[in-house]
Amino acid sequence: MKRYASLSMIYCTGVCLTTACAEPASVGAEGDTGGTLVVSAFADPGSLFPPLMQTMQAKQIAEQIYDYLADVGPGMNTRGDKDFRKQLTDAWKWSDDSLSIAFHLNPAARWHDRTPVTARDVRFTFGLFTNPSVAVSAGLELSQIDSVSAPDSLTAVFWFKRRYATQFLDAAAQMLILPAHLLERVTPDSLRKITIPPVGTGRFRLRKWDKGSSVELVSDSGNYRGRARLDRVIWSVAPEFSTAVTKLFTGTADLFDGMRSENIEEVSRHPDLRVVALPALDYVFLQFNLRDPAFHSRPHRLFADRNMRRAIAMSIERDLLVRSLFDTLAVVPSGPTVRAYPTTNPGIRQIPFDSARAGNILDSLGWSRRNADGIRARDGRELAFTVLVTTSSMSRMRMAVLLQAQLRRAGIRMNIDRMDYTAFVSRWSGRKFDAALGSWNMGSTPGGTPHAWGTVGIGQEGTNFGSYTNEVFDAQLDEALGARDPETARAKFTRAYETINDDAPAIWLYEPKTVIGIHRRIRTTSLRPGAWWFDLASWWIPTAERLPGDQIPAGR
């Protein structure tokens, strides 16, 4: 899955948490180029080779080094083509039957080694992204593109298997374009085994990479889209959260994008810092396994029953949980979606908190008697289940404890099985669980929803780990994904989400905001949900506000 408009002020307690309405680039004087931005990062990026990227840090960096044909705009509209921002392409034309798009490449576009960009590069890139021996996802987002042709050196034509709403997104913004002249002599199998020097067309180029320590990019002064306004950007790696946030507070970093609620009050003691909130593209949920964890051919003893799942949902006061854990830094999701999408209706009907009704349902199912611990029982067996939680997420571990307390008041025992991330993913994806506190990153479009919650995702290669299936939901979701205008799509998505909400295969718990701490001298432009770095090359630092660390040392 891949990438809103501004929020108003959302939080004040000594410091105001505002949105990234952003200073437009025209505010800075023409001479305001120069300066250094240091980003405090959670981890080393791993691979910067786009088909092999697996970390958020890699995505942040690679999208400065390489270009798409065109990228999703800050409004997050991925239907049609009107809201996309041009990068390597300067024009495009649809065929009369909408089964192909011809992209004309900007003739001024050059690789960082100054070799001209050609349609051969686009065709070559498509081949790599759809090669299972190379790409991590083996072209999942590109599966509806039949082929790419190059009728001349500046025209790349994408041919589609069918017409659908996000054709332009898939062709223009799912692949960072790669240099054929540097890579085509390397066998595909070798690309996973060797280090690929990142040579792109982006407004920054790689200067230095100290594995596990830092990555330094510098402005590409001769770039076809104009040099970046900052001289350089450094990602400084600090694997532990406390170390990463401390870098911001001590002035050794200018930006940290993982701020927690407890960090915001600290910002008020640093007048040189401000905090910005963005809608995120993640949501967290309590997922029920509808199949027996030991024998997948059998239904789960508890969760195959729709009424049981609905009763548990009615027993959980999600608004209270989110306020207790996040204050205003998260919201309750509307369904398996995020509010950043123009197609999401935040008023979608959901199962309400109703403890009395939940109790009546559980009584009707025979779970009426309570033991000495206050836990409901039937035929001598407690109403109990175990939830998997990864220790890599402090928020999810805290949420599990709060859920446990609320369910206990309903007479339900929820045991918590904490484990490291690798073990969690193994158990979750292997469907060896009763329930799990899971999280999905949606990207720029809800196109991955069928694989996470639809029947198509139940197979071994799918990600519908709870094995929920409903043909009505599948059909409604397919109609919504096929709708060509946002208003029609919004109405159809609303119906689909209300269907799955009523079935309660999961309880949508929280949708966190991305909270960024940033030095006040840094002027930003458009910040996009899920990708604050979207227009990083247009950020700037006023000359009068630069610090000694903004200068690149002589000889570098």
Residue 522 identity: I
Residue 1: which pLDDT band, with cuts at 50, 70 and 90?
very low
Q: Which helix (H) or strand (E) holds 376?
A: strand 376-378
Mean pLDDT across 16-31: 47
Give the residue ranges of DSSP H helices in 383-526: 394-409, 421-429, 449-453, 471-482, 486-503
DSSP 497: H
Predicted local confidence at residue 214, as pLDDT: 96
DSSP helix/strand/coil, 264? helix
Contact 336, 453 (CB under 8 A): yes
Mean pLDDT across 115-140: 88
In sequence order, the 6+-apart residues with CB closer than 8 A to the CB of 82 are none
Q: Which helix (H) or strand (E) holds 245?
A: helix 241-249
Residue 366: which pLDDT band, with cuts at 50, 70 and 90?
very high
Highest mean predicted confidence (pLDDT) among 44-48, 72-76, 287-291, 526-530: 287-291
**What is the C-alpha separation between 463 and 519, in angstroms, rounded?**
39
DSSP helix/strand/coil, 457? helix
Task: Give the phi and the psi of residue 378 in degrees, each rounded to 5.
Answer: -145, 130
Residue 311 identity: A
**What is the C-alpha separation between 258 and 226, in angstroms, rounded?**
30
pTM: 0.83
As a whole number, the mean pLDDT across the chain is 90
Contact 32, 542 (CB under 8 A): yes
In sequence order, the 6+-apart residues with CB closer than 8 A to the CB of 210 are none
Neighbour tally for 122: CB within 10 Å: 27
Predicted local confidence at residue 555, as pLDDT: 55
Q: What is the pLDDT of residues 383-424, one digit of tens each?
A: 999 999 999 888 999 999 999 999 999 999 999 999 999 899
- How far from 387 is each of 2, 93, 296, CA to CA, in Å? 28, 51, 18
Count of residues in the chain: 556
DSSP 183: H
In sequence order, the 6+-apart residues with CB closer than 8 A to the CB of 405 are none
Dihedral angle, C-alpha 204, 209, 215, 220, nearest 10 °: -10
**What is the C-alpha separation between 108 and 118, in angstroms, rounded?**
10
Predicted local confidence at residue 139, as pLDDT: 67
**What is the C-alpha separation between 317 and 354, in angstroms, rounded?**
8
Give the residue ranges of DSSP H helices in 282-393: 306-314, 318-326, 355-364
**How large is the C-alpha radius of gyration of the chain?**
25
For residue 48, the cross-strand partners are: none
Contact 102, 93 (CB under 8 A): yes
For residue 514, the cross-strand partners are: 278
Contact 215, 209 (CB under 8 A): yes
Please give the span between the terminal C-alpha atoms of the chain, in angstroms, as a whole number: 39
Is the four-CA dihedral 270, 21, 259, 174 of positive or negative sign?
Answer: negative
Q: In this structure, what token pair is assigned to residue 243?
A: 């170390």
Q: Which helix (H) or strand (E) holds 417?
A: strand 413-419
For residue 209, the cross-strand partners are: 215
**What is the C-alpha separation between 409 and 353, in angstroms, rounded?**
13
For 5-14, 145-154, 250-259, 510-519, which range has the lowest pLDDT when averaged over its residues? Answer: 5-14
Q: In this structure, what token pair is assigned to residue 309?
A: 């799942």
Contact 368, 360 (CB under 8 A): no
Contacts within 8 Å (CB) and 24+ apart, 4-9: 4/74, 4/75, 4/76, 4/278, 4/279, 4/339, 4/340, 4/342, 4/528, 4/529, 5/74, 5/75, 7/277, 7/278, 7/279
Task: Count Cα neighbours of 30 within 13 Å in the Cβ-side half-sphere.
Answer: 0
Residue 95 identity: S
Q: What is the pLDDT of residues 134-150, one digit of tens each?
A: 876 656 789 899 999 99
Q: What is the pLDDT of residues 425-466, one digit of tens each?
A: 999 999 999 999 999 988 888 988 999 999 999 976 689 999
Give the residue ranges of DSSP H helices in 68-211: 119-129, 167-173, 180-183, 188-191
- How far from 406 is each of 328, 359, 401, 402, CA to CA, in Å? 21, 13, 9, 6
Neighbour tally for 395: CB within 10 Å: 18
Q: Taking Cα atoms as reference points, which of 80, 53, 49, 62 lies closest to residue 171?
A: 80
Q: What is the pLDDT of residues 240-250, one digit of tens each?
A: 889 999 999 99
Predicted local confidence at residue 138, as pLDDT: 59
Contact 229, 28 (CB under 8 A): yes
